Amino acid sequence: MSRWGIMNRNDQLSEHFTLGELIRSETAERKEIDNMPPAELIPKLKRLCDEILEPVRNHYSIPFRPNSGYRSPILNREIGGSLKSQHCHAEAVDIEIASISNYDLAVWVKDNLSFDQLILENYRPGVPNSGWVHVSLKEEQDDNRLAVLTYSNRRYEAGLIA
C-alpha cells in the first residue's frame, strides 16, 4: 500500500481488515456511488481497525465484517444518515458478530475499549442478533466522550438497554 496515496479495496488497514471492508456499501454499489475516502481519512480508518475492530476480533476469535464504516457525504445522504454522522469523517463503524448478542457485544466494548460514542442501535430484547453496535472514535483521545446510548423507536436513551 502506498502511504495513503493511490489505494485499492484490497489494501490491508490492519491484520484482519481491509479498506474494502470499511467502505463496502450495497447502496453505493447499487447506485454506483464512489465511496472511496480521501487519502487524509485513511489513518482514521486504520485507527478504527486498530483500536476497535481488532480488539473485538481478538477477544471473540470470530471473523466478522463491519456493516458500515466510511460513508461519503453522497452515500450518507442517499441512505438518510445523520447530517452529523461520524461515518462521513471516518470516525465510526457499525458491527455485528453472528453468534454474539449485540447487547453482549456492546457491553464488552463499553467495559474494555475507549470510544467516543457506543450506541446499541435497533436492538430488540429477546432477539440477540437484532440491530447492531455503532462505535465511534475521535481523532484526539481526549475528545472522546465515552457516551453510551441505546437507540430504539426513533429515540436515544442513556446507557445500554436490553
With a cut of 50, say whether residue 1 has pLDDT above it.
no
Inter-residue contact 27 to 78 (CB < 8 Å): yes
Question: What structural domains does the chain harbor?
Answer: 19-158 (3.30.1380.10)
Q: Note the pLDDT of residue 6.
A: 59
Max Cα-Cα span within the chain = 46
- pLDDT, one tens digit per residue, over 51-110 is 999 999 999 999 999 999 999 999 999 999 988 999 999 999 999 999 999 999 999 999
Q: What is the mean pLDDT of the chain?
A: 93
Nearest partner of 69 among 40, 49, 50, 83, judged by Cα: 49
User: How much of the chain is helix, strand and coil, in % rounded to 5?
Assistant: 35, 20, 45
Q: Is the pLDDT of residue 44 over 60?
A: yes
pLDDT of residue 17: 97
Give mean pLDDT, residues 13-35.
96
Contact yes or no for 125/118 (Cβ under 8 A):
no
Backbone region of residue 154 per phi and psi (left: phi > 0; alpha: psi in -120 to 50; beta: other values): left
Per-residue model confidence (pLDDT) at position 2 = 47
